Structures are given as structure tokens and as C-alpha cells.
């Protein structure tokens, strides 16, 4: 705060000297050139400070320099205008300093483009932030398209958190529509990610380093999996990224953000330990399953599962007849016990596959975000527990260890 005021006053000191010199040296003066702008409404504190500061400067100048007195006798009207100019400039300095201080202490306005990031943003920010979640629970983010009202909210926000990795295909359009004013933080692109391809099956590829943009195109090309939140390690890292961005914007509240982030990360760590204990009850022969689309690569990577998906990384992709035939043969060959629907996806293809193979549908998983407030997946922790329980209970055979 003190640094901000000091910098503002230092700037104004140079500004006052520059304009005063121009006036005294006979520069053109026209009525209204230095009049205050419309809607100029400084606070009482700024006015009082400017008056005290200006009076001190005026008295000091009068004691040291008699030139002004001579000038005032010859050009009284000009000197009056100089005095008015000085006061206005001093006032603007204090108003600027006061405004800068308010900006660094005001509530952060945040927009989140996924239900998971909405929770993270609120948990880390606490009462220091106001978070708007544009993508509502139960809405498929792959098909979400922001309205004109949504774009206005993004333009007005201090920060917009996005999953990244091409999950939100509209981000470039938003940047153009808002003329680059929106500070979009693409969380997933700062996390270790998994690359998948249309030809991949079963266990996903190893985690890669930070992603630096680019979109996959062409059949069979590997592309980054944007469903990074199914790895708790990624969630812990993402929490740290949100904290860092908040602290960069409002450094005075850094300790609050750090404390909130630490508490949330501790809950995530406990959740990870619980998930590992649940998955440990599954034998290696029971770790294959089929999902609607390719959204569980991170979960599979963390717990040594083998996931086979009907569709690709997006719910909007459709499998061809060849892919469906491959899955029928795979289910029979590997004796896969269950296939899983998704809460936000069309289950028609899954039901056809179940009829063809005789395999049972194990339940519905939350692949692309949190569920509604009245569901058993209203929070990240609840969603994660639901998915793990549904998978374990559906894949475990009666002869397997049933301990929980």
C-alpha cells in the first residue's frame, strides 16, 4: 500500500513540474484545458490530503522564491490559474493513490469454466473471492457454448479458470470477443497429462510433462486427455496453481489463500489414501472395464486399471461399426465383468453393447464434472468416492476380498 502511494506521488511530482513549467514559460493556456474530467468525485480523505500537501508545498515555495510574488503582481489571473492547477494535480495524485489501494484490496471476481474448478476456486479463495460457475453441474462441458451474457461475465472477471487441453474449444473465440481483456488461466496445461489416441486401448500412456498448446488432428494422432481432475495428484497441483494466481492478484491476502489451499489439499490427500485402499481389493484379473467415452485415463493410471472406451476423448465423438465389433470381441476375450454409463452422456450405445455381449451395466460414473446439489456427487470428494465405489463394487467377484 505504501509503495503504491509513493509511486503515485512520485509520478505526480514530475507531472506537476512539467505542467507548471509549461505555464510559466508562456505555453498556450485555454479555459478548461486543466479542468477536472466529468464524474470526477474524489473522496473527502483525498481532498484533505491534497490540500495539506499543496499548502505545505506552496508555503515552502513562497519562503524560498520571491519570483512568484513578482509574477503574481504582473500576471495575477495566470497565477490564480497556476494555483488552481497545482491543487487539481495534487488532488488527482491522492485520488490515484487511493484508487490503486482499493484495487489491491477489493474482492476478486472469478469465473470458472468447469464444476470442479468452481469448487477449487471457492475453497482456496474463501470470502476473498466471488466465483461464478458458467458450466452448471450435470452439463456436458464438451458441448457447452457460452452465450453473449456468459462472454460479458468473462470480460468483467479478474480471472477465468479453464480446464484447458482443448476441453473448452471456444476459448480462442472468447479471447477475440473480449479483445484479450479476459485473464484466462488454463489449469490443465500446467499439469502432467496423459496422451491418448483413437487407436489406444486399455492402459493409457505414461504421464507427460507440461503441455504447451496445439491440437491433435488426424486419426490415430495422440492428443492430451483433458480429464485431468480424475487424478488427485493433479487436483493437489491445480489447487496450488489457483492459490498462486490469487496471490499474484492480491498479494496482501496471500496468507489466507495459502491456508485455505493447504486445508483443501489435506482433504485431497486423505481422499487419495481412501481410494488406494478401495482399489487394492481388486485382483489384477478384475481391473478391466468399458466406459462410454475416454474420460478415466488418469484414474486408470493412478490405480493400474485398464479402461476401454466406446467413444474418444469427447462425448461428441461417435464410434464406427469396426470399433463396436472390437469391443464385443474384447469383452468376451477378457471376461470383462461390467461396462459403465455416464451421468452426462447418451447410454444408447452402451445398452446395445450390453445386449450384444450379455455383460452387465455396472452403474453410472461422473466423467466430466460434479453432479447436481441433490446428487451423491455434489462435491469433488463425493464424486470421487461415488466413482471408486461404483467401479470396485461392479468389478469385484463374490470370491474376491470384500473388505472395505
Strand (E) or helix (H) holding 272: helix 254-279
Strands 338-342 and 360-365 turn out to be: parallel
Count the Cβ atoms, other than its own, within 10 Å of residue 9: 15
Looking at residue 139, its pLDDT comes to: 92
3-state secondary structure of 156: helix
CB-based contact 161:141 (threshold 8 Å):
no
> Given this model, what pLDDT does residue 211 score?
36
Per-residue pLDDT tens over the stretch 165-179: 999 999 999 999 999
Average pLDDT, integer, range 251-275: 98
pLDDT at 313: 81
Residues 6+ apart with CB under 8 A from 20: 82, 85, 86
Lowest-pLDDT choice from 56-70, 291-305, 328-342 = 56-70
Let me know how many helices (H) and strands (E) the chain has, helices first: 13, 11
Predicted pLDDT of residue 347? 75
CB 205, CB 222: distance < 8 Å: yes
Task: Answer whether residue 239 shows pLDDT above 60.
Answer: yes
Q: Please determine, looking at this structure, whether the domain spanning 108-268 carries the CATH number 3.40.718.10.
A: no
At 105 the pLDDT is 82
More confident residue, 61 or 295: 295
Average pLDDT over residues 64-73: 52
> Given this model, what pLDDT does residue 312 score?
85
Residue 297 pLDDT > 50: yes
Q: Is the pLDDT of residue 263 over 80?
A: yes
Pair type for strands 129-133 and 108-112: parallel
- Position 318 scores a pLDDT of 84
Q: What is the DSSP letter of 388?
A: H
The residue that leads in pLDDT, 376 or 222, is: 376
Q: Which helix (H) or strand (E) holds 22?
A: helix 2-24
CATH topology of domain 283-395: Rossmann fold (3.40.50)
C-alpha cell recorded at residue 36 = 477536472
Q: Which residue has the higher pLDDT, 182 or 261?
A: 261
pLDDT at residue 30 tops 80? no
Under DSSP, the state recorded for 222 is: -
Q: How confident is residue 59, by pLDDT bands cut at 50, 70 and 90? A: low
Give the pLDDT score at 47: 52
Split at pLDDT 50, 70, 90, the class of 399 is low
State the pLDDT confidence band at 343, using cuts at 50, 70 and 90: confident
Q: What percent of the chain has pLDDT above 90?
A: 58
Question: Global pTM?
Answer: 0.73
| C-alpha cell read off for 292 | 462410454
Does 186 or 65 have the greater pLDDT score? 186
Count of alpha carbons within 13 angstroms of residue 176, beta-carbon side: 4
Give CATH 3.40.50.1980 domain extents, the chain: 108-268, 283-395
Average pLDDT over residues 261-265: 98
Amino acid at each position: 500500500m505504501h509503495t503504491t502511494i509513493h509511486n503515485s506521488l512520485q509520478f505526480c511530482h514530475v507531472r506537476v513540474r512539467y505542467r507548471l513549467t509549461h505555464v510559466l514559460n508562456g505555453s498556450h493556456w485555454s479555459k478548461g484545458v486543466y479542468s477536472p474530467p466529468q464524474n470526477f468525485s474524489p473522496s473527502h480523505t483525498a481532498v484533505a490530503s491534497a490540500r495539506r500537501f499543496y499548502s505545505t508545498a506552496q508555503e515552502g515555495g513562497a519562503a524560498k522564491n520571491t519570483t512568484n510574488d513578482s509574477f503574481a503582481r504582473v500576471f495575477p489571473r495566470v497565477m490564480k490559474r497556476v494555483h488552481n492547477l497545482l491543487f487539481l494535480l495534487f488532488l488527482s495524485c491522492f485520488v490515484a493513490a487511493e484508487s490503486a489501494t482499493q484495487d489491491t484490496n477489493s474482492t476478486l471476481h472469478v469465473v470458472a469454466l468447469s464444476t470442479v474448478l468452481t469448487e477449487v476456486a471457492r475453497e482456496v479463495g474463501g470470502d476473498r473471492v466471488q466465483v461464478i460457475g458458467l458450466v452448471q453441474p450435470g452439463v456436458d462441458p464438451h458441448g457447452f457454448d457460452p452465450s453473449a451474457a456468459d462472454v460479458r461475465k468473462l470480460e468483467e472477471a479478474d480471472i477465468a479458470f479453464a480446464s484447458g487441453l482443448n476441453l473448452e474449444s471456444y476459448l480462442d473465440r472468447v479471447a477475440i470477443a473480449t479483445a484479450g481483456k479476459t485473464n484466462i488461466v488454463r489449469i490443465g496445461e500446467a499439469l502432467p497429462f496423459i496422451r491418448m489416441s483413437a487407436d489406444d486401448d486399455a492402459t493409457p500412456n505414461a504421464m507427460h510433462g507440461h503441455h504447451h498448446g496445439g491440437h491433435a488432428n488426424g486419426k490415430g494422432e495422440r492428443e492430451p486427455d483433458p480429464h485431468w481432475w480424475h487424478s488427485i495428484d493433479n487436483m493437489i497441483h491445480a489447487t496450488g496453481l489457483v492459490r498462486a494466481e490469487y496471490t499474484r492478484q492480491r498479494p496482501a491476502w496471500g496468507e489466507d489463500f495459502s491456508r485455505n489451499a493447504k486445508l483443501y489439499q489435506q482433504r485431497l490427500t486423505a481422499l487419495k489414501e481412501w481410494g488406494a485402499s478401495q482399489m487394492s481389493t481388486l485382483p489384477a484379473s478384475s481391473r478391466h472395464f468399458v466406459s462410454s467415452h475416454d474420460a478415466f485415463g488418469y484414474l486408470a493410471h493412478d490405480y493400474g486399471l485398464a479402461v476401454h472406451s466406446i467413444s474418444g476423448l469427447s462425448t461428441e465423438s461417435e464410434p464406427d461399426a469396426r470399433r463396436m465389433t472390437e469391443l464385443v470381441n474384447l469383452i468376451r476375450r477378457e471376461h470383462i465383468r461390467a461396462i459403465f454409463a455416464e451421468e452426462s452422456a447418451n447410454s444408447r450405445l452402451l445398452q446395445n453393447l450390453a445386449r450384444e455381449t450379455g455383460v452387465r451395466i455396472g452403474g453410472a460414473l461422473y466423467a466430466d464434472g460434479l453432479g447436481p446439489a441433490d446428487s451423491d456427487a455434489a462435491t469433488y470428494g463425493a464424486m470421487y468416492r461415488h466413482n471408486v465405489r461404483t467401479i470396485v463394487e461392479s468389478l469385484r467377484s463374490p470370491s474376491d476380498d470384500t473388505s472395505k
